[in-house]
Amino acid sequence: MNRYIRKIVEIINIREHVDYHTADSSIRKNIAFKGPNVIILACAIVIASVGLNVNSIPVIIGAMLISPVMGPILGLGLGLGTEDGDLLKDSLKNFAVMVIISILASSLFFLLSPLTLENPSELLARTQPTIYDVLIALFGGFAGILETSRKEKGTVISGVAIATALMPPLCTVGYGISRLNPTFMFGALYLFLINTIFIALATFFAVKLFKFPAVSADTVGGKRKGLSKSLYAIILTIIILPSIWTAFHVVKENNFKIHAAELVKKNKNMGRSFVYDHKTNYSRKLSTLELFVAGEMLTDEAKEMLYNDAENFGIMRNQIVIHEDATIVRENIDETEILKGIYEHTDRQIKMLNDSIMKLNARLDAFNKNQLPVSSVAHELFAQYPHITDVSITRGSAVYSENDSLADRVIVFVTCDEKLHANLRHQIERWLKVRLNNENVLVVEAK
């Protein structure tokens, strides 16, 4: 048993793969926002803003890949873990510069952008952070510092950049400022703070786990500075609690939608009525399920059965709204009349589709009819006139100045080994007029 435990410990042991000096140097080098980093940040901001503005996931991923915002955040974690006050101060300063530049640039972009989407789903996705975002940031941050620290580098940092999504929330804050929308502003800023704090926290834990050497007071030229453990706990609690509350409501909303769909599926047909559509409206006060019914008006007995079924799915009767605008108010309605109406509607749809198909076929036939037999005409000309080496045929329109009329014209470009004489050109034109059944043929010698 001990042998297996030692084997497992040997497999998961990572300290011997860690290069402290390279990691420390790499993080410190990527903290500063100046020179290329500023230009790259500006490019990432524009790309992310465009991606969010047009709801393009690939563009947003591209912005996350080239964004250099991980540097100062890893620097925060390293500074805390090694008790390096100077590194912590530099990281915070450059982090603030990065945030300000990003928010200002994205705000300016969205102020100038003429495009406003009716349903900006990619922007909305960054306004309700949950505890799951905390987990993503924590494990993503750990993977990031591990990748930075290990001797043999891989492609983990790119994946961390995509998973933790630091740049899009900042751009969403800019969108909220440009639209004066507090939901976008504060929701996205909260998501960005979650990602930042927990990536830095994961870096801090990893630095302690890998036993990075602490920076002595003599090395930094001053006293070590650090936050107390109780203050750490208070800050993390304040950050985590709202995300847990949001996650609770996300799960609750998802469950409500699932139960609503199951209820509709079970009660799709109710006698001579049927539910042809439904809509869920989630609210923290009172969520509702709207049912759109066609056929006959629902009887009181049918509604009562529906309410009883709904209670089995955790949906109360005051949460159900029934729309019967498409129902027929008749006492002795025949079921065949409902089917007849459905069939008549279907027949009209089929007739419309058939008419569209006939029109498209007519256009296709006209197009095919106007196609010129270029290949066969060219080979026939080659056979009759061996000195012709190349033939190009095109169809165009000719406008005559004397009456301003428009006529169809076929233009044939020929290339010859020797000069094409006028008599021969007229002879070819006469033959082509007969061959193409078009009196308006023009032969031009290509130079």
pLDDT, tens only, 253-308: 788 888 888 888 888 877 777 788 888 888 778 888 888 888 778 888 888 888 88
With beta carbons less than 8 A apart as the criterion, state whether 342 and 335 touch: no
Chain-centre distance of CA 250, in angstroms? 20
From the CB of residue 139, how many other CB atoms can be counted at a distance below 10 Å? Answer: 16
Q: Who's near 137: CB < 8 A, 6+ residues apart?
A: 164, 194, 195, 196, 197, 198, 199, 202
Rg (CA), the chain: 36
What's the pLDDT score for residue 10?
Answer: 59
Q: At what angle do helices 182-209 and 131-149 cross, to 10 degrees?
A: 40
From the CB of residue 108, how many other CB atoms can be counted at a distance below 10 Å? Answer: 15
Query: Could you say which DSSP state residue 393 is in?
Result: E
Low-confidence ranges of the chain (pLDDT < 70): 1-19, 115-129, 151-165, 215-236, 238-240, 243, 246-247, 326-342, 344-345, 400-406, 447
Which of 125, 134, 123, 130 lies closest to 177, judged by CA?
A: 123
Query: Cα–Cα distance between 195 and 178 in angstroms, integer?
Result: 23
Q: What are phi and psi of 275, to 5 degrees?
A: -90, 110
Which of 400, 408, 404, 413 lies closest to 439, judged by CA?
A: 408
Going 81 to 82 to 87 to 89, the CA torsion angle's sign is: positive
Which of 424, 428, 444, 446 lies closest to 436, judged by CA?
A: 428
- Residue corresponding to tokens 């952070």: 129
98's tokens: 């990065």
Give the end-to-end CA distance of the chain in Å, rounded to a whole number: 90
What's the pLDDT score for residue 64?
Answer: 77
Letter for the amino acid at 239? Answer: I
100's tokens: 């300000």
Q: Who's near 18: CB < 8 A, 6+ residues apart?
A: 149, 150, 151, 210
Letter for the amino acid at 13? Answer: N
- Domains in the chain, ordered, with CATH? 10-226 (1.20.1080), 253-328 (3.30.70), 374-445 (3.30.300)
Which of 239, 244, 245 lies closest to 200, judged by CA?
A: 239
Query: Cα–Cα distance between 234 and 195 in angstroms, integer?
Result: 17
Query: Cα–Cα distance between 147 and 149 in angstroms, integer?
Result: 5
Letter for the amino acid at 173? Answer: V
What's the pLDDT score for residue 369?
Answer: 73
Which of 380, 359, 355 lies closest to 436, judged by CA?
A: 380
What's the pLDDT score for residue 328?
Answer: 57
Over the stretch 142-196, which tens digit does the pLDDT of each residue have? 887 777 777 665 555 555 555 556 778 888 888 888 888 888 888 888 888 888 8
With beta carbons less than 8 A apart as the criterion, state whether 211 and 24 touch: no
Q: What are phi and psi of 345, to 5 degrees?
A: -65, -45
pLDDT above 90: percentage of residues in the chain: 0
Q: At what angle do helices 131-149 and 70-81 cross, to 10 degrees?
A: 80
C-alpha distances (whole Å) from 133 to each of 20, 48, 148, 318 are 29, 19, 22, 34
3-state SS class at 19: coil
Query: Could you say which DSSP state residue 298 is in?
Result: P
**Region of residue 314 (phi > 0: left; psi between -120 and 50: alpha; otherwise: beta):** left
What's the pLDDT score for residue 342?
Answer: 66
